[in-house]
Each structure stands twice: as structure tokens, then as C-alpha cells.
Structure 1
Amino acid sequence: MVIEPTTSTVPTESTGEADWVIPETETITKTITDHAREFGDRVAVRFRDESGSERERTYADLRDDMHRFANGLEELGVERDDRVMHLFPHHPDAFAIQLGALATGALLVPCSAMLQTKDIEFRATDCGATTVVVHKSLTDMVEPVLSATPIERVIVLNGDESDYENKSQGENEDDDENDTHWTTFRVVLDGQSTAYDGPDIDAEDPMSINYTSGTTGKPKPVLHKHRWLSCFNRVNAPHWWNIDEETDFEDELLWATTGTGWAKWFWSPVGVGLTTGATQLIYDGEFEPETFLEILETEGVTKLCAVPTQYRMLANADLNAYDVQIRDALSAGEPLNREPIERIEDAWGVTPRDGYGQTETVALVTNYPGIDVKPGSMGKPTPGVGTTIIDIDEDEEVGAGEIGEIAVPVDSPAIFDGYYQKPHLDERKLSREFYRTGDLARRDEDGYFFFEGRADDIIISSGYRIGPFEVEDALVSHDAVAEAAVVGSPHEERGSVVKAYVILAENYDGTADEGETDLADLESKLQTFMKEETAPYKYPRRIEFTDELPKTSSGKIRRVELRQQEQERHG
């Protein structure tokens, strides 16, 4: 662990005060070098793919590959403060690529394979990226936009150099990509030294530009300094992953299922796994419940972090058919419903613990070790961060039971360092006492937070403030409902009413053969059910059955599109 004696204090609602400070010289690249010196033969990464083949990398391997790639990047012309995009699936060299780029002083710009070509163009142009590292299977996402972006060099992971020689030379004089240099990851590493004499990087230097998922508009470029990863070491590790100075890593295997292009990759595989010196599993393969359960069993995973959708699918499998040794089950991305929590608890004897945060932050609210988990709750404010709930319009805390906006003091070290070259966004989000997350919650008398949706998603009906998640959570507990999204729908008398978009479960299609006379009858039954499950004023007065819901590339529901649709219909 890299936990230092501390001198600074950060107020926290849940524990009064917590002491923690980040040494100026602490960076992830220095941490890896220290780990390699102290326990270089410890396995850092156990990689497995769909075919079952495995590969391991020790901390000494990571240090050496980090230095070799950094030397190679410098030779290609990558300099301090350059922006290096990356686009690859789970891969055994993922850490070497990220660490090597950071060692040069460049800023990482992670991208997900779930993005579209236009998204790559937007990000590269917006941040001025000059280099991209892309897996050979994803080059079709990059190649069409090269002439429209500042990208000067393309490094292909798992690529054959002979396939890219002509691309760098240009196939004809009119080729728009003549100035783009193509090479491969292996060529960049070839012959490079495992010693690297690069620039001095410290905790206050810029590290990454992580784009938000674009739930409410265009993705925003979130700038983080190197201290962000050290914050995860001090916050996410003990208060979510249940890792501290006493953890015996010989008896632990971590697995975070997140993709390499998301901020969550920095939250866990890098920010917790690498900073603490743990051994972690990386699996490259599509999610299949039975496959994941088999991996949990055969690999001996002890700490699992997955998204709610995966937990829901796992909970519907035969959990008792596998000998799983999980001691900590973590969930993030959106609140986890009660039903999968109860099924996993019954089968594994472990209660999944939600953690809440954003691309802009560390874990702000968690069901941290030592507190009881309340089904449906996000948990309590993470010690040392200062998370609270404030009025939607004023910078004042709200009382228990009231819906407000989750917020963090702007001087908390647990939040980001602004939006990259977007001073107007900084002024909007960071110029007052609190950084407002845009997410709504209410606090109960015991201090537990309950998610209520995005601030833009709040529904005001006849003077009542209604958060969509409580309604959605109740809806999906009905056997007929597979998925639901709730928004406000304009109404002449009430201002707005609750409107639910519902995807039916597989065995429900509204026909007489499936036990329902028609969708109108099912709608009535759902409304009756909801009046019993929630406060009567919260039930959906309008229900629309649909085959799909609009979502971001990270799988979050874009309620903004549904609201716009309702406004066009009833506004």
C-alpha cells in the first residue's frame, strides 16, 4: 500500500474529519517502480481470453515494459503534455501502454470500443490528440477520421508491421493520410531499454482527459492530475474495495470487469489494483453469466467489481452450481436493485456493496466496510471526501427525506481539476462553494443516500418532487417488466405526470396466450401494483411499452431524449 502519514484534514459528513495528504512526488509511474523494487516477482496481471489461454505479467515486467514503451514514444516524437488516445479491448499490454505514455509526461485520452467513428473524431479534435494506440480490430474506427483530426501517428496493438508500411508512405500523391505515421506496438518496443530517463512528473501534473458519457449533452473533457490515482488508493481502496495496510495480497485476486476506455478503469484496475500492489485478473471476452461464474470459480477471484446489469444477469443464473470464493462484491455505474442483491447474498453469503462517483471524482458515496447495507441505498458519504446533499437551487444542505443534489466542496481533493481547455465549463461548475454532480438523492434519518436520478430528470407533479429511480426500481420488481425508464410528461393540470417507458420481460407480450388480455390491461395492473409499492402520487399515470431505450455508449439511459419526446407530444 502507498498510504502515508498525513497532515491535512478534509471534513466529512459521516465521520467528522479524516486525515490524508498526497506527497508531491507520488505518481503511478513512481509507484510501479517502487513496487518492482520491493516485490517485482509478484504477479500484477493475470490475463485470460475466451479461448482459455493465460498470460501473466509481474510488477517487474510492468516497470520494464513501461520504460520500453516510454522510450519508444519519445523516439516517435511524443513529448510532455501531448495527448495520447487509446482504443483497445482488455489486453495484457494495456497497463504498459498507459504507464509508458504517462512516464513521458503525456496525457492519456481513453476511448471505448463502444464508441462510434464520429465520437473518435470529436474527442481527437476537441483535445488535440496527436497519437492514438489502437487495437488492430478497431482501426476501422480511426482510419476514416485521420485527415480531419490532429492525429500524426497511429500505433497498432497486435498489428503486423507489413500491413502498415504503405499507409505511412501513402499509396498515392493525393492521399490525405500521407502525414500520418503508422507503426505497431511491438515495433515501438523493439530494442528499447528497460531504463528510462524521462521528465520529472509529480502529483500536480496533468495525467488524463476522461470524457464523460454524454448523458445530458456533448461529452465533456474531464482533466485529472496524477494525484487522482493516489486519491483512489486512499479512498476507493479502503472504503470500497476493503483493502488496507493489513491486506495479504497472496490471498487475494481482484477482478474489475470494466473496459479500458472508461473512467472506471482508473477507479479500480489502475487506481486500486496497481497502486496497492494487488494481483488482478483481466478477462478479454463477451459477458456470459455461466462463463463469468466459471471464471470466478476456477481463477479463485476474491474481490469482484461489476456493473448492475452483470449482477442482474448473474443473479438469474444457477449461482449455487459454482464454488465461488468471493469475499467482496462491488457494484457501480447505477444503483443495484434489491432482487439481485438478495439472490447473491443467499448464494454467496456476500452482500453486494454499491459505490457512487463520477468521471470527475473518486467514490463519493459507498456502502463501505463496517456499515450495514440497506437495499436500494447508495450507502453513506465516503470518509474524508465531504459529500453532502444540497438544495437544487441554493448552496444549502437539505434535511432528511428531502430530494437534493449530491455535491462536494470545491476544495476537496477528491474531485477533478477542471475541464480541459473549457474555462466556461469551469466557471459554471467550480466557481461556487460546491461542485454539483447533477445527480439527485435523498438522505434518510440514518445518513444513507438513495439515488433519485439526474437533476434534469426530477419530475415535479402537482407540487411533488419525484425522482425517477425509485419508480423504476419498483417497476422492474414486477415480473412483467425487464427494464424501465421514467420521465416527466407535460400535463395541463398537474404540470407534469410520471411517464414510464417499459420493456417487457421475455414471457410477457400483452397477448391472451401469455395471460394478459392486452397491453391496456397490463398497464392498469402495473399502475395498481405501483400504487402499492410507492407513494400513490408517484405511480406512472402514463405507460408506453417499447422494445428499446435510448442509451449512451456506456449503457446509461438517456432520459433527456425521452423528455424531449414527451415535450413534443404533450408540450
Structure 2
Amino acid sequence: MGVSYDTTVETFEWDIPESYTVASAVESHAEAFGDRVAVHFLDENGNRTERTYADIRDDKNRFANGLEELGVGKGDRVMHLFPRHPEAFAIQLGALSTGALLVPCSSMLRASDIEFRATDCSATTAVVHESLTEMVESALEETPLERVIVLDGDEREDDRFRTYESVVDGQPTEYDGPDLGVEDPMSINYTSGTTGKPKPVLHKHRWQYCFNRINAPFWWGIDADADLEEELLWATTGTGWAKWFWSPVGVGLTTGATQLIYDGEFEPETFLEILESEGVTRLCAVPTQYRMFASADLEDYDVDLTDALSAGEPLNQEPIERIEDAWGVTPRDGYGQTETVALVTNYPGIDVKSGSMGKPTPGVGATIVDLDEDEEAKPGEIGEIAVPVDSPAIFDGYYEKPELDEKKLSGDYYRTGDLATRDEDGYFFFEGRADDVIISAGYRIGPFEVEDALVSHEAVAEAAAVDSPHEERGSVVKTYVILADGYEGSEELQDELQKYMKAETAPYKYPRRIEFVDELPKTSSGKIRRVELRQQEQEKHG
């Protein structure tokens, strides 16, 4: 898709249908081309399952009927915790069709994470894969959860548990649910911040429409003229992340495209073989994966890629050039957050400028503002990426957290916390975080979560977590640790702390680097000056 950037920005208009939901979009696709395959699903053993748009429509209606029979209705919170699975879309759309709010959870979480989320949003239902039930079981007594629906599980005597199969068994493929539209709540996505526990980001169904209008054409390159029967999309994200709603749901399902879902651990050679054998035309992956691809013999793979998209953190020039040389495709960065749609992208029609995030997407209003005032920064000045609070492309507040809404959404702009500069041509360049959030391999990690878990170990008196430069992952978590009396730093203790953290937190949060110190730099009020520690890491590893 070739477009004029300036013309597109000037002529873009929002025309948001009041009755839009992603479930209604799928129903429309099923009516128009129900036999089109929506999902090619592959597991790590090579087993294949396919779902057409008609299949997804019928299955989501079965699940919606089953949920309603169990007492789930409009406004209820439904957590889900499962790997990439053939039934993922049916479960998510079925819950949404009842008017319930989805609460996505990553399979990397721990029981304490599940307990916090379920309690914080008063979730009453959880849909859990059989392999992950243990973490929900251990948290069940301390949460408002009333029922657990187990995917691929066996029946139990405990009446709080149902199998997914029993919930949908015998249910009709038509569902007469509540009238829903773009202004009805859709999901609560938890995101890490600099202090406290993860925050509940509330989105309405409008979010998915905005993905269709923004992410699809201005990042994926899929516009109304695209021949979707010739396309196969693959986004490598998992079901518990906002990126799942950015791409597999927000682009794949809303446009009516066919997509590939692979449920297997990331191995560069395996993923490259799948790219080749399946004929993937558009790929969305994280920079860490592209960096590992670039180390392989890319010329050995005969791929059909026309677009390669990158998100989560800036992608450095080396893998971009490597993939360009081997496949003739330029990986294109896209920037956004759990709270937003794609705000800045290198989309078809503009030249990709080395090191740039791209230009603001049309209609969204993303800009760079002064660090202290709500005024736009001048070209070349470091400021904070921000979006007008009345933009339809951002979130609708934090679920039942008015104090957070007041803090983040009471001014003229929603400030993202990401620093950038803009050149004279309007391209944005990432300059770092305005706060202490750590971004590692695309994962957003709050330092408090790491520190809070680490100091619960008897050997740790105090800890500070910061990002440390890393060639493949972009950054990794580094912790500076003050030991409790009676303990001495050693490799053995470092290994013990890392194992402890893997058990206490999601594994992507554990500190890959630990340094034992006698003191931490602090302000006069006693707050840790992480900025000094980050500077040390830049000097060591940057």
C-alpha cells in the first residue's frame, strides 16, 4: 500500500459505528465468507487444526450460551489463562458476547499474580488451560472466583470446576445476548508501573475498531483493497498480552484475514522453517526474535514475506539490514502501549529512516510534549510521547481506580512515560523511559515488582532493579542487592536468588544480573536513585 503521509493525515476522519464489537465483526465475516479459514493452528508436535470464520462464530455462541447458563452476564469479569490454543478466539469472543469483561493473564504468571488480579477486579470466572490450573487452585480460596472452566481438562467432583467441553456441549450455535457497542467495557489489561502492583487498564469495544482503522492499514499494510485470500498473517505474541489484542484479534479477526497461530517455544530455526513451509506473508515479532533470526542463515529459507513488523522496543539497525539483504523486506517498527493503539509507525508509504520509530499514525494525535509543560517540544528537543486525552485511540481509564484516572487523564494529554525526539521531517526517535520501567525482550517490567519479591528472601535486606543493556534482549533486569546480616555475596547465593525469583515471579522478571553492594544511591528523602544505577549499567554494558 503506497500512500501520501501528509494527505492521509489531513483527510483522515473517525467514523466509529456505535454498534461495533469484534464479535459482531466476526459474525459479519462468517455471513460473508464463512468457509474462509480464520486460523491455521500448529502445535509444537506439528499437529494442525483449522477454524473457519463460521466455526469461530458458532463456537463463540456455544460458549456464550454456556456462560450465561452458569450465571455470567454483562459487567462480570472473566479471567483467562491459557496458551495459544485453537479455542482461544471462541472463548474470548464468547465471553465478550455476554457483555463480560475479559481479564487476560499470561501463562508466565504465578499464583500470587492470579490472586492479585482476581481480587483487584473482583473476577468471578476463570477460564484456564488444564496445564495451568495449579496456580489458580492455590489462589482460589483467597479470591472472589466462583467458578473455573478448565480447557482440555477432566471432570472433577468439586462443583466449582467445569470443563470447557461440558460448558459448550449441547449449546445452540445462535446466541441472543445483550445489545453491545463501542462504548461498552471490553477488557481489563494489567500493566506494570514504577510503583505498586500492576494497574488495571480499562478498554471499551472501541479499542478493537481503532485497531482495524489504525493498526491494520498503517502498520500491517492491510487496507480495504487488500486481497486477504492471498495473505497469511502471523503474530508471535501470547494470549495474555495486549499485543494479542493488537494483532491476532485487532487486525486478524477484524479484517477477516487468515492467520497462523503456533503454540511452541521460540526457536529461531523452527520459526524460520514455519515461515517458509506455511507461506507466511506478514510477520509480527519482537526485536529479540529478529535479532536471533539475523544470526541464522536467512538465505537458506525461501520465504514469501512482504511485511515484517516489530514491536515492544526499538529494533537496532543490524537485524534490519540482515533481513533486507536476505529477503528484500525491511522490518518496520511500530510503537504503542497496553493503553493505546499503534501511535507511531513506519508504515507503507513513508521511507523507513534508520533508528526511527516512524511517524505518528493518522487520527490518533500522538505528539511529543515538554517534560514539564503541556506544550509540544521543538524538533531535536527530548520530550515525552503524549496523546490528547480525548483521542478515541487510548484507554478509558483504570478499572475502578479514580485516583489513577485523576493522575493520568486529568490534563490535556495522556503521557506515555516514553521519551523521544522528533526531527525536521517529523520522524520520532526513542530516547528512553521517563520513569524506571524496564523493557526487556518486549516485556514491560516494574522495578517494584522485582524488588518486592527479592526482599522477601531472608538473605536480602534491600534491592534496586534497573535495566541493563543486553545485545539480544535489548535490556535485562539487573538488581543491586544489599545483603542481610550474616550473609555474604557469592555465585552460589546469586544462583539461589535467581531460582527463588523464578518461583516467585513470572520468569521474564527475574534478574539475569545481580550485584551485591554495601549501599544504594538515595535522595535526601530516602528514595533510591535508580537513574544513577542505570548510568552505571550503560557505562558497563552500553
Give the TM-score of the pair, scaled to structure 1: 0.78
Is 1:139 aligned to residue 118 of structure 2? Answer: no
Judging changes above 3 Å, is the alpha-carbon distance between structure 1 residues 296 and 500 closer, same or farther for their aligned structure 2 residues? Answer: closer
The structure number with the bigger radius of gyration is: 1
- After superposition, residues 424-503 of structure 1 pair within 5 angstroms as 424-457=403-436, 501=468
1:212-231 counterparts in 2 under 5 A? 212-214=191-193, 217-231=196-210
Q: What one-letter code is carried by the residue in structure 1 that aligns with 2:387?
A: V
SS at match of 2:12: strand
Cα shift at 1:215 = 5.5
Distance in 2, matches of 1:232 and 1:446, equals 26
Whole-Å Cα distance in 2 between the matches of residues 182 and 565 of structure 1? 48
Contact 2:123 2:144 survives alignment (8 Å)? yes
Specify whether residues 273 and 500 from structure 1 end up closer, same or farther in structure 2 by C-alpha distance, changes over 3 A only: closer
In the alignment, which residue of structure 2 is the partner of 1:204? 183
Pairing partner for 1:95 from 60, 79, 89: 89
| 1:215–1:557 Cα contact (<8 Å) kept | no
Cα distance in 2 for residues equivalent to 1:300 and 1:152: 44
**Change in 2 beyond 3 A, CA 1:52/1:500:** closer
What is the DSSP-based 3-state SS (H/G/I as helix, E as strand, rest coil) of the residue aligned with 2:368? strand
2:194 touches 2:435 (CA, 8 Å); kept in 1?
no
Which residue identity is paired with 1:105?
G
Aligned pair 1:375/2:369, yes or no? no
Q: Is the 8 A contact 1:81 1:106 kept in 2?
A: yes
Does 2:353 correspond to 1:359?
no
Corresponding residue for 1:86? 80
Shift of 1:281: 0.3
Deviation at 1:17, TM superposition (A): 5.1
One-letter code aligned to 1:101? A
| Residues 502-517 of structure 1: pairs in structure 2 closer than 5 A | none
Distance 1:454 1:17, change over 3 A: farther
1:232 corresponds to 2:211: yes
- Judged with a 3 Å threshold, the aligned counterparts in structure 2 of structure 1 residues 557 and 17 are, in CA distance, closer, same or farther, namely farther
Q: Rate the CA distance shift 1:340–1:566 in 2: closer, same or farther, 3 A.
A: farther
Structure 2 match to 1:496? none
Residue 398 (1) aligns with residue 377 (2): yes
The residue type equivalent to 1:30 in the other structure is S
The whole-number CA distance in structure 1 between the counterparts of 2:261 and 2:413 is 37
In structure 2, give the amino acid aligned to 1:425: L
- Aligned partners of 2:194 and 2:436 also within 8 Å: no
1:211 is matched by which residue type in structure 2? Answer: Y
Instruction: Give, as a single letter, the amino acid of the residue that structure 1 aligns with 2:230.
Output: D
Letter of the 2:274 counterpart? I
Listed as ranges, the matches of 1:169-208 within 5 Å are 181-208=160-187
The alpha-carbon distance between structure 1 residues 235 and 554, as it changes in their structure 2 partners (threshold 3 A), is farther
Q: Check 1:500–1:86 CA distance in 2 against 1; reply closer, same or farther (3 A cut).
A: closer
DSSP 3-state at the match of 2:181: coil
| Deviation, structure 1 residue 557 | 10
Alpha-carbon distance between aligned partners in 2 of 1:326 and 1:338, rounded to the nearest angstrom: 19
Structure 2 residue identity aligned to 1:184: T
Pair 1:245-2:239 in alignment? no
What is the total number of aligned residue pairs between the two structures? 469
Matched residue type, 2:392: P
Aligned CA distance change for structure 1 residues 504 and 425 (closer, same or farther; 3 Å):
closer
Q: Quick one: distance in 2 between partners of 1:326 and 1:224?
A: 32
CA distance in 1, matches of 2:206, 2:183: 6
For 1:238 and 1:125, how far apart are their aligned partners in 2? Answer: 38
CA 1:129–1:196 in structure 2 vs 1: closer, same or farther (change >3 Å)? same
Query: Equivalents in 2 of 1:554, 1:252: separation in Å?
Result: 34
Structure-1 separation of matches of 2:81 and 2:403 = 29
Q: CA deviation at 1:237?
A: 0.3
- The residue type paired with residue 15 of structure 1 is V
Work out the CA distance in 1 between the residues paired with 2:300 and 2:37.
29
Q: Is the 8 A contact 1:289 1:313 kept in 2?
A: yes
Measured in 2, the distance between the counterparts of 1:338 and 1:385 equals 27
d(CA) in 2 for partners of 1:270, 1:381? 22
CA separation of 1:380/1:75 partners in 2, compared to 1, >3 Å: closer, same or farther? Answer: same
* Deviation of the 1:457 alpha carbon: 4.9
Question: Residue in 2 aligned with 1:310?
Answer: 289
SS at match of 2:188: strand
- Residue 385 of structure 2 aligns to a residue whose secondary structure is strand
How far did residue 376 of structure 1 move?
1.5
Partner deviation per Cα, 1:86-107 (whole Å, 9 max, x = no partner): 0000000000000000000000
Residue type of the partner of 2:308? A
Counterpart in the other structure of 1:104? 98
CA distance in 2 between counterparts of 1:206 and 1:385 reads 20
Deviation at residue 446 of structure 1 after TM alignment? 1.3
CA distance in 2, matches of 1:226, 1:451: 30
The separation in 2 between residues aligned to 1:54 and 1:441, in whole angstroms, is 43
SS of match in other structure, 1:235: helix
AA aligned opposite 2:386: A
Secondary structure at 2:113's aligned position in 1? helix
Amino acid in structure 1 at the alignment position of 2:204: K
RMSD: 2.9
Q: 2:259 aligned with 1:280, yes or no?
A: yes
Q: CA deviation at 1:29?
A: 1.2
- Deviation, structure 1 residue 566: 4.7
Once the 2 structures are TM-superposed, how far is the Cα of residue 375 of structure 1 from its aligned partner? 2.0
Point out the more displaced range, 118-127 or 561-570.
561-570
CA distance in 1, matches of 2:511, 2:409: 25
The runs of 5 or more residues in structure 2 that have no matched partner are: 1-5, 442-465, 473-493, 523-527, 534-542
Letter in 2 for 1:417: D
1:293 aligned counterpart, secondary structure = helix
Alignment deviations for residues 81-136 of structure 1 (CA, whole Å, 9 cap, x no partner)? 00000000000000000000000000000000111211111100000000000000
> What residue number does 2:118 align with?
124
Structure 2 CA distance for aligned equivalents of residues 141 and 501 of structure 1? 30
Contact 1:410 1:432 in 2 (8 A): yes
**1:546-557 matched pairs, under 5 angstroms:** 553=506, 555=508
Listed as ranges, the matches of 1:7-46 within 5 Å are 15-16=9-10, 18-46=12-40
What is the percentage of aligned positions where both structures have the same residue? 72
1:438 and 1:84 mapped to 2: Cα distance?
29
Tell me if the contact between 1:253 and 1:279 (Cα under 8 Å) persists in the aligned partners.
yes
Return 5+ residue gaps in structure 1 as ranges: 1-11, 169-180, 459-467, 474-498, 506-545
